[in-house]
Structure 1
Amino acid sequence: MWRHFLRTVEEIADIEHKLAELIKKDEQCRRLQALEGVGLVGALLLKIVLGNPGHFKNGREAAACVGLTPVQHSSGGKERIGSISRVSGNSRLRSALFQGALATITQLERRPCRTQKEVWLSQLVARRGKKVAAIALANKTVRTAYALLKQGKEYQPELLAA
C-alpha cells in the first residue's frame, strides 16, 4: 500500500513538472505570470477562463465572470452593494487568485513597496484588512490580465520614483 502511494506521488510530481514545462513555453501564460500573485496554475486558469478577450466587453465583465465583483441588492432607488458572489463564477480561478493575493500581501509586510500598485495595496490593507484587500487585488489582477490578453502587451508595473 505504501509503495503504491509513493508511486502515485511520483507520478503526480512528474505530471506537474511536464505541465509546468508546457505552461512556461506558452507566450500568454508567461506574460500573465508577471502579474502580482499569479503563478503557473493561476496563469493557466486565467488563460483558460478569459480565453479570447473578445468574449468580454471590458475588464469588469471579465472580473464578473470570475465572480470577483460586488453583488448589487438594489431596489426602489436604493443602491446596496454587497460582497462578492461565492456562488457564481469560476471558483478555482477565484481561489487561486485570492491565495496569490494573500501571498503578495504577506510579502509586502516583509519588504518595502516597489510599485504604485503595492503602495495602493498596503494602504488598502491598513484601511480594510487583508481579506478585503486580497479580493480587491484579485479583481484588479483579472482586469489587468484581460487588458494584457486583449492588447498582447507585456506587464510593466509603474515603479516608484527612486
Structure 2
Amino acid sequence: MTVTARLGLPLIATGQAQKELTHNAAIHGLDRLVHLCVESRTLSVPPALPSPGATWIVGEGATGAWEGHAGALAHWDGAWAIAAPAEGTLCWIADDGIVAVFGGGVWNADFLPVAGLRVGGVPMLAAPPVAIGAPEGGSVIDTEARAVLESLLDYLREQGLLTS
C-alpha cells in the first residue's frame, strides 16, 4: 500500500476494492496526528483502561504493547496504533500543561525553536536586550515617580527585555 511521505497516511490505489477502508484509515490517521494533544509523556506502561481517542508519548523503558517505541505516539482506538512523529511536530502535553516540539529524534519542551516574536507585525525580542539606567539626579526628586519607573524597569528585566 502506498502512503503519504510525511504522515504515512494510506492512499487509495487505482481500481482498489473497498476504498472506504483506506479512506477511513487515512481519516483516523489525521484524527490522531492533527492538532496533537497527548495525555502524558512519562508513561512507559500502556494504561489498563484508556479512553477512546487518547494518545500518549511513549516513555523510556516502555513495556507491553509499547515496548521498543520510546518517543513514539501511542493512540488508543480499540487497539494501539503506534506512529513515529514527524520532524517539527508540535504537541500539547495535558498533564504538564506545556507544548513540546519533536526534533532531532526527541521531544523537547524546554524551548520552542523560534527566530523571534512578532506582535501586530512588529518584531519583538529579535535583538539583544538593551541596558537602560535607573532614574537618578535632578534638582527635584519625585520619589513616587522614581519608584514606579524602577518597578517598571525591574519587570522588563525579569521578562528579559532589558539587561541591568
- TM-score normalised per structure 2: 0.24
Q: Which has the higher helix share?
A: 1
- TM-score normalised per structure 1: 0.25
From the CA coordinates, give the structure whose radius of gyration is larger: 2
Q: Which has the higher strand share?
A: 2
